[in-house]
């Protein structure tokens, strides 16, 4: 048996963590779908997907950190940056 198989067998992932990961994936999917139409600010995304602003911000920043989303321009009122789906590097 390989070491990685032994580690996987012994590692226990709590149900709470599994639910958290599902929720993060769900929010990321909603955000990416909202951005398919074009650049949006965080409040626009939150309103469209009907999720709390803080959760959208957290999920958006995580997706940005991992290169799924890019920061666009600042809005006309100089309040919020827009965000867009990142162009995949070839």
Which residues form the domain of 36? 14-85
Number of domains the chain contains: 1
The answer on pLDDT for 84 being more than 90 is yes
Q: Which two tokens stand for residue 51?
A: 């999720």
Tens-place pLDDT, residues 16-56: 998 999 999 999 999 999 999 999 999 999 999 999 999 99
Nearest CA among 36, 33, 57 for reference residue 46: 57
What pTM does this model have? Answer: 0.79
Q: What is the mean pLDDT of residues 58-84?
A: 90
Task: Answer whether residue 90 shows pLDDT above 60.
Answer: no
- Is the residue at 8 inside a domain? no
Report yes or no on 43 lying in a domain: yes
User: What is the CATH number for 54?
Assistant: 1.10.10.10
β 69-74/40-41 pair status: unpaired
- Residue 45 inside a domain? The answer is yes
Question: What b/e sequence results for 40-61 when a residue is b if at least 16 CB atoms lie within 10 Å of its CB, and e otherwise?
Answer: bbbebbbebbebeeeebeebbe
| Chain mean pLDDT for the chain | 90
pLDDT at 77: 77
């Amino acid at each position: 048996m390989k070491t990685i198989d032994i580690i996987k067998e012994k590692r226990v992932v709590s149900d709470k963590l599994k639910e958290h990961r599902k929720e993060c994936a769900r929010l990321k999917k909603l955000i990416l779908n909202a951005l398919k139409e074009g650049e949006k600010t965080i409040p626009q995304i939150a309103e469209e997907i009907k999720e709390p602003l803080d959760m959208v911000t957290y999920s958006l920043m995580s997706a940005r950190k991992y290169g799924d989303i890019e920061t666009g321009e600042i809005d006309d009122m100089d309040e919020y940056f827009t965000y867009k789906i990142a162009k995949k590097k070839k």
